[in-house]
Amino acid sequence: MDKRILPNEVLLEEAGRLLDEGRKVTFTPLGSSMLPFIRGGKDSVTLVKKPSVEVGDMVLVRLPGRYVLHRVIAQEGDRISLMGDGNLAGTETCTRADVMGTVTTILRGKRKVIPGKGRFWRFLKPVRRYILAIYRRLFL
């Protein structure tokens, strides 16, 4: 398989088109907003288009001027709230129509990891700051 580096707008727009066709898409996300579960620039994710999303799902969404890969933390009607696992504060809000795909597999080296719903990690939100600080010092 060829490895190509493309600007986010090009890569993720094409990924959205393929997901809409019912195909799986795998790419390597950048950034640290999903630490410790997705290591930006190191891990890859495989996404599929699902008919619905649930609280705890990791989703790729198209927001005005950018794309984010974050976890669903709440839903109310058509509105979805997202937050990165590596973020200590700050959320995004989108609609179901903004969701491009759901992460089904995290590829960490040769290992495939099926993502959970992050219930325990969400429970640890008050102490995430300390856990992430230790993780960054030990593993990054």
In a domain, 53, yes or no: yes
Section 102-107 average pLDDT: 98
In a domain, 61, yes or no: yes
Domain count, the chain: 1
Instruction: Give the structural domain span for 48.
Output: 8-139
In a domain, 55, yes or no: yes
In a domain, 128, yes or no: yes
* Structural element, H or E, at residue 13: helix 8-20
Distance of alpha carbon 39 from alpha carbon 49, whole angstroms: 22
In a domain, 99, yes or no: yes
Domain CATH number, residue 94: 2.10.109.10
pLDDT bin (cut points 50, 70, 90) of residue 1 is low
pTM: predicted TM-score of the whole model, two decimal places: 0.91
Tell me what the pLDDT averaged over the chain comes to: 93
